[in-house]
Amino acid sequence: MYNHNNNNNGRLPVHREPNKPPPIERHHTARYIAHRVRESLTTRVSKVICSIFLTILLVAGIVAFVLWLSLRPHRPRFFIETFSVPGLDQPGGFQNAQVRFKVTVRNSNQHMVFHYGAMQGAVFYKDQQIGSARLTEPFDQGPKTTKVLDEVLTGATLTVSSQRWAEFQGDRSLGKVPFRLDITATIMFKVSTWRSETHRMHANCDVDVGPDGSILPIFRSKRCPVYFT
């Protein structure tokens, strides 16, 4: 008979794990510690510089926005107030033809000054110029001010033949005669000591007159488009 080993009292032998070696303690050198310190300082300095830059950028943006709101440059505003062709209801009126008009020029800016060169006005009928004249000498227009241009074109400043007058009469029979008033000038913008470049300004005022030769109500105080070249 096979005899079991009685030393374990019939139990399986126990396998014991060998003793684990103690953990190895890492000792960092002074060079390694100095490198880590430099990295930490560099990161902190970079963060501070970025924060300062972003703060300056934000403040500059806010200041620029506030300045833009305070200045908010507006173009000159031209409004045609009156326009008339006296004697339009007379067949022979071309002999003493006249064109009368009044235009207001507004500077709606709070701080900006407009400097205008000599201002010229020209009247057109069906894209054909029938008269022109100098409206003003050079002048400055201060903020929140309005200048009135009041002019009469006649004689040498107005050229209307009998044929052209007959065309006026043909349109008059249809209820209105279309004209266009063009105002041109050089303009420069000034804010305190700053001055812009000189631009060429154009204001185009379309206007119709009725059978009596007076401006139709729909065109009275109408704003004229303005553009620069």
CATH number at residue 114: 2.60.40
16/9 Cα distance (integer angstroms): 18
Are 61 and 95 part of one and the same domain?
no
pLDDT at 219: 97
Are 59 and 121 part of one and the same domain?
no
pLDDT at 216: 97
Placement of tokens 């009368």 in the chain: 100
pLDDT at 128: 95
pLDDT tens-digit readout, 135-182: 999 999 999 999 999 999 999 899 999 999 999 999 999 999 999 999
Are 56 and 117 part of one and the same domain?
no
Over residues 107-131, the mean pLDDT reads: 95
Are 163 and 177 part of one and the same domain?
yes
80/103 Cα distance (integer angstroms): 5
Q: Is residue 182 part of a domain?
A: yes
Q: Is residue 96 part of a domain?
A: yes
pLDDT tens-digit readout, 60-93: 887 765 565 555 679 999 999 999 999 998 888 8
Backbone angles phi, psi at 150, to 5 degrees: -120, 115
Is 117 in contact with 100 (CB distance < 8 Å)? no
Are 173 and 201 part of one and the same domain?
yes
88/94 Cα distance (integer angstroms): 8
Task: Give the DSSP letter of residue 213.
Answer: S
pLDDT at 10: 55
Over residues 99-112, the mean pLDDT reads: 95
Q: For the chain, give the mean pLDDT.
A: 86
Are 67 and 99 part of one and the same domain?
no
User: Residue 8: helix, strand or coil by DSSP?
Assistant: helix
Are 65 and 177 part of one and the same domain?
no
Range of 134's domain?
A: 77-228
Are 85 and 180 part of one and the same domain?
yes
> What percent of the chain stands above pLDDT 90?
59
> What percent of the chain stands above pLDDT 70?
79
Q: Could you tell me the two tokens for 87?
A: 């004697």
Strand locations in 137-193 (E): 139-141, 145-154, 177-191
pLDDT at 32: 65
Are 106 and 51 part of one and the same domain?
no
Over residues 205-223, the mean pLDDT reads: 97
Number of structural domains found in the chain: 2
Task: Give the DSSP letter of residue 214.
Answer: B
Are 107 and 214 part of one and the same domain?
yes
